[in-house]
Structures are given as structure tokens and as C-alpha cells.
């Protein structure tokens, strides 16, 4: 049901740091863990907020990085041009498509409206049967608890089937995420 081998992980996350230092730490830990497992990081190519933290950590630990940024955000998100692969797109829709197409699994760290947009787009595609990639919420310090409750409410109110909840795996920390990725076929090595 899942891709045979997971080699590349798309990370959606905030272009801001947020108020809780645990979120920045989780981004740093995730970058290190992906590099240590020889999994390529695919992300929004910014060098700010949690995006920058996950990418710098992956790079510092020898990881491969694939960044995708729309031309209008090159300055605002400080396009990180020293990545293994740096792609500039025309718009946000193209950015999301390129990120998704170059990943075998998706992880959403704490973030804001952009991260929610990205998450719900891949969940909707999954619901429509357009992919079978695993989708994770990294629920650092319960950040995503209100979202999980909302998803359960949407299902309870009949606006999504029970199976919708199965498309999203909620994990509380990076070790739990990495263990689940490995169980689902991550080509861990290094």
C-alpha cells in the first residue's frame, strides 16, 4: 500500500520559529534524524524559522537537501541556495506539486496557515485516491491537538469518512516518527 521504499521525506513547517523552543528543537532533531537515516529532506527552501532549522541540521549532519521556493518568496523566506538541489518555481501551486512529487512521505511540523494548506492538500489528494504516501503530523508538545480534534469533529459530523483519520499518522516526537518511517519502508542506512 505504501511506496516500496521511502528515500525522500517532504517536511512542511513554519517559516517562523514560533513561541515554543521545543518546536525549533524538533525541527533540528528531524533534520539530523533524516540525515542519519540517509533520507533526503524535501522542503520549502527557506532559511528562516523551522524551515531553516530543519535544513541547516540536515546539512550539518551530511544529509541531502532538496528545496523548492516560488520566485516571489526568495527574499521573504531567504532562499537557501546552498542546498543539494535548489528549485525556483513560478508560484505556490507549482512549489507544492514539485515538493510532493519528489517525496515518498510527508511530515508536518508545527506551522501556520501555509503548513495547514500544504497538509490538507496532500490529505485531500489521499482521500481522492491520488496517492498512498504516508502523511504524518509531528505533534510536538501537543501543538496539533486542536487540529486532530477538528478532524475528528469533521468525521463525527459526517463531512469525511472514518477512513480519513487513517490517512494521517500522529506522532509526538522525532524518534517515534523515524520508527514509523522505518516500519513503512524507509531505506535507513548511514
Is the CB of residue 178 less than 8 Å from the CB of residue 26? no
Q: Measure the CA–CA gap between 74 and 48, rounded to whole angstroms.
A: 11
Q: Residue 168 pairs with which residues in a beta bridge?
A: 135
User: Is this structure's pTM higher than 0.85?
Assistant: yes
> SS3 of 42, please?
strand
Domain borders along the chain are 8-183
Mean pLDDT of the chain: 94
pLDDT of residue 188: 57
CATH fold of 8-183 reads: Rossmann fold (3.40.50)
Tell me the average pLDDT across 142-155: 98
Instruction: Give me the percent of the chain exceeding a pLDDT of 70.
Output: 96
Instruction: Give me the percent of the chain exceeding a pLDDT of 90.
Output: 89
Q: Taken in order 111, 113, 118, 124, is the CA torsion positive or negative?
A: positive
Q: Taken in order 20, 26, 32, 38, is the CA torsion positive or negative?
A: negative
**pLDDT band (50, 70, 90) for residue 92:** very high
Q: Residue 170 pairs with which residues in a beta bridge?
A: 137
Q: Measure the CA–CA gap between 9 and 151, rounded to whole angstroms.
A: 23
**pLDDT band (50, 70, 90) for residue 154:** very high
pLDDT digits over 156-175, tens only? 999 999 999 999 999 999 99
pLDDT of residue 186: 72
**pLDDT band (50, 70, 90) for residue 8:** very high
Residue 133 pLDDT greater than 60, yes or no: yes
pLDDT of residue 2: 44
Tell me the average pLDDT across 131-147: 97
Tell me the average pLDDT across 136-152: 97
Using CB atoms within 10 A of its CB, is residue 57 exposed (0-12), middle (13-18) or buried (19+)? buried
Tell me the average pLDDT across 36-53: 96
Residue 90 pLDDT greater than 70, yes or no: yes
**Crossing angle for the helix pair 21-36 and 49-60, nearest 10 degrees?**
30
Q: Measure the CA–CA gap between 23 and 27, rounded to whole angstroms.
A: 6
Amino acid at each position: 500500500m505504501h511506496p516500496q521504499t521511502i528515500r525522500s521525506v517532504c517536511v512542511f513547517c513554519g517559516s517562523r520559529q514560533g513561541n515554543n523552543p521545543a518546536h525549533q528543537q524538533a525541527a533540528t532533531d528531524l533534520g539530523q534524524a533524516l540525515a542519519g537515516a540517509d533520507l533526503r529532506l524535501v522542503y520549502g527552501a527557506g532559511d528562516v524559522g523551522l524551515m531553516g532549522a530543519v535544513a541547516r541540521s540536515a546539512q550539518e549532519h551530511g544529509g541531502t537537501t532538496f528545496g523548492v521556493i516560488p520566485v516571489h518568496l526568495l527574499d521573504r523566506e531567504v532562499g537557501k541556495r546552498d542546498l543539494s538541489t535548489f528549485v525556483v518555481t513560478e508560484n505556490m501551486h507549482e512549489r507544492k506539486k514539485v515538493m510532493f512529487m519528489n517525496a515518498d512521505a510527508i511530515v508536518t511540523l508545527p506551522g501556520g496557515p501555509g503548513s495547514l494548506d500544504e497538509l490538507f492538500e496532500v490529505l485531500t489528494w489521499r482521500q481522492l485516491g491520488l496517492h498512498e504516501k504516508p502523511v504524518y503530523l509531528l505533534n510536538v508538545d501537543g501543538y496539533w491537538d486542536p487540529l486532530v480534534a477538528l478532524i475528528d469533529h469533521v468525521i463525527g459530523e459526517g463531512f469525511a469518512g472514518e477512513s480519513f483519520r487513517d490517512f494521517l499518522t500522529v506522532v509526538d516526537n522525532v524518534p517515534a516518527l523515524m520508527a514509523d518511517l522505518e516500519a513503512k519502508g524507509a531505506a535507513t542506512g548511514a
